[in-house]
Copies of this chain bind each other. A is one copy, B any other.
Amino acid sequence: MIDDPHPADSGLRTGEVAVPLPDATNAGVYFIGTIHTPWRTRTACPKRGDLAGPLCRIVVDERWRVALTGIARHKRILVLYWMHQARRDLVLQMPYHSGQTTGTFALRSPVRPNPIACSVVELVAVDGNTLQVRGLDCLDGTPLIDIKAEQAGSGG
């Protein structure tokens, strides 16, 4: 398995280290919608989002639709999503691009204890509960967990 290009599906690469996961999680996340992109496999996904990339669609569940009120005022939004196919137990990883073993928290890899991604995207259009955006890099069907007004460098 040393040369396996998909450690999340199977084994570890040389230098990679996994730890036992805790027995239980500490809080629960609601999936609040679904992200539609052109990418059907993880290898097809771009390494990072491109604000000049293809249009992607974020569909927010009806329950949360009213929470989009006022979103169209924002040119850029922050999108949080759950990288549901990633394993969660690696503390050291060997990214292909660097070939250097690195700690999970010094990387942006989807493989991490909590597989939550944050992407700044360009908001192109809002139609009911659907947003058209550019700048995502995730799999088609990825669960949405949050949308926030962008505000560089700030918390919340």
Measured CB to CB, the residues of A under 8 A from B are 17, 19-22, 24-32, 48-49, 51, 60, 63-71, 73-74, 77-78, 80, 82, 84, 88, 90-92, 101-110, 112-114, 116-120, 135-138, 143, 145-149, 151-156
Contact = CB atoms under 8 A, between A and B. Distances in A.
Contact of A29 (B31, B51, B114): B114
A116 B19 CA distance: 24
Contacts of A154: 48-49, 108, 119-120, 137
Nearest to A104: B67
Given A27-B29, A68-B103, A108-B156, 12 more contacts: A19-B63, A25-B30, A26-B28, A26-B30, A27-B82, A27-B143, A67-B91, A67-B112, A80-B116, A110-B156, A112-B148, A114-B146
A120 B156 CA distance: 11
B148 A108 contact: yes
B69 A103 contact: yes
